């Protein structure tokens, strides 16, 4: 038992383990994630519905979207943004790891008579001959990736964009990092049954890496017939660190905002949004 407790409380190096595939493809957790996505009143897997509507209106205006413009949403989930953007008349592609979310998004598109190209795939493996006017990555998904993965993704963005295309993404700020605390937590059926339909014992260890500005929420889930560990990494940025990373990867930042609804930048905000253009 001592050995197992040591393993549960082990602090790995930043981004040393990666478990996103299990989180998004597990039958039970993917169902729970979809429920969170579709809850219009909370900001968990997706923004609340009022924010999404404001965000879509701002995106449409900011990027002068029309029927000739093509958009690709990385990590589109159940289509909360892609559906609305397609309804505004744009050509839309959505990519997501979760089959359950993509199936739901396709169902909504069919009911509304929308032609949206949905791809159920790890977006690192996504390939197409299309070129896009706008690529979006929303809900701070960029922060869940390691430095090497972020570099790989920015290269993919660069190759998928038209010469005058843009990227819109958001990240967590250092203000948010400062508010996070390390913790060790144990509960039966941690997160109200999120991890399994059967009884389980859940351990949450939150590790804070001050030098790297990284947080790990490490979930150890002990069920009757299996034990699994889920690593939820988040990178936090200052304006300077984000700009440095973006500029090392052939993009330039056009402007900083506080969110993807175009709110003016506020240093006290827990998030930042940026528009990226190809460096000239």
Beta carbons within 8 Å of 28's beta carbon, 6+ residues apart: 195, 196, 197
Position 31 scores a pLDDT of 85
Position 44 scores a pLDDT of 47
pLDDT in tens, the chain (280 residues): 899 999 999 999 999 988 776 667 788 888 888 887 677 554 444 568 899 999 999 999 999 998 899 999 999 999 999 999 999 999 999 999 999 999 999 999 999 999 999 999 999 999 999 999 999 999 999 999 999 999 999 999 999 999 999 999 999 999 999 999 999 999 999 999 999 999 999 999 999 999 999 999 999 999 999 999 999 999 999 999 999 999 999 999 999 999 999 999 999 999 999 999 998 6
Position 45 scores a pLDDT of 45
In the chain the domains, ranked by start, together with CATH numbers, are 28-172+238-278 (3.40.50.150)
Position 47 scores a pLDDT of 67
Tell me the whole-structure pTM to 2 decimals.
0.93
């Amino acid at each position: 038992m001592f050995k197992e407790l040591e393993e549960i409380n082990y602090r790995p190096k930043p981004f040393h383990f990666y478990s996103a595939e299990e989180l998004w493809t597990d039958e039970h957790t993917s169902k729970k994630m979809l429920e969170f996505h579709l809850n219009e009143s909370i900001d968990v897997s997706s923004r609340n519905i009022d924010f999404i509507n404001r965000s879509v209106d701002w995106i449409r205006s900011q990027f002068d979207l029309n029927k000739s413009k093509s958009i690709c949403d990385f990590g589109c989930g159940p289509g909360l943004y892609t559906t609305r953007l397609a309804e505004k008349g744009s050509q839309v592609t959505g990519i997501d790891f979760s089959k359950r979310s993509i199936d739901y998004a396709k169902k909504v598109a069919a009911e509304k008579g929308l032609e949206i190209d949905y791809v159920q795939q790890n977006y690192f493996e996504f390939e197409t001959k299309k070129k896009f006017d706008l690529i979006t990555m929303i809900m701070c998904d960029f922060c869940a990736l390691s430095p090497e993965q972020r570099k790989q993704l920015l290269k993919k963005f660069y190759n998928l964009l038209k010469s005058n295309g843009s990227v819109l993404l958001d990240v967590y700020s250092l203000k948010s990092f400062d508010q996070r605390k390390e913790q060790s937590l144990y509960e039966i059926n941690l997160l109200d049954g999120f991890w399994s339909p059967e009884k389980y014992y859940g351990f949450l260890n939150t590790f804070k890496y001050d030098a790297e500005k990284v947080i790990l929420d490490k979930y150890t889930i002990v069920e009757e017939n299996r034990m699994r560990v889920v690593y939820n990494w988040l990178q936090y940025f200052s304006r300077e660190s984000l700009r440095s990373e973006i500029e090392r990867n052939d993009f330039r930042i056009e402007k900083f905002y506080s969110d993807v609804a175009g709110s003016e930048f506020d240093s006290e905000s827990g998030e930042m949004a940026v528009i990226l253009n190809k460096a000239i």
